[in-house]
Amino acid sequence: MKKGIPYFLMILAALVLLVQNHQDVSVGDMIFSSLGLDPWTGGSTGYHLPVIAGLALLVAGIFGTVRLYRAKYPRILSWILLACMVVIYAFPLITRAIGSL
């Protein structure tokens, strides 16, 4: 198993927890609800657990990837951040297009 795969999977899992569909519902909320867990610590207030978990995974995944690949790819951080922004922006558009089929 290559060294960078766990970091890539952490970034991918973080993006799954953080993105919203075209109805402004977080995929992390849907995952937590399907597991029978409340995504909020205090009902509909308090801490939003999917966002906390997603941000922790995202920071750890980006840190590990950058640390591992910066010597070979000096601009890796810029590319990872750009890719994350594209995924977060494009996901609602894609789910809207798929939902209208």
Mean pLDDT of 86-97: 92
pLDDT of residue 101: 67
pLDDT of residue 1: 53
Say if residue 78's pLDDT is above 90.
yes
Q: How far is CA 28 from the centre of its chain?
A: 9
Mean pLDDT of 74-87: 96
pLDDT of residue 51: 93
pLDDT in tens, 5-62: 999 999 999 999 999 988 888 999 999 999 999 899 887 788 999 999 999 999 999 9
Read off the pTM: 0.88
Retrieve residue 8's tokens. 């890539």
Residue 36 Ramachandran class (φ > 0 left, ψ -120 to 50 alpha, else beta): left
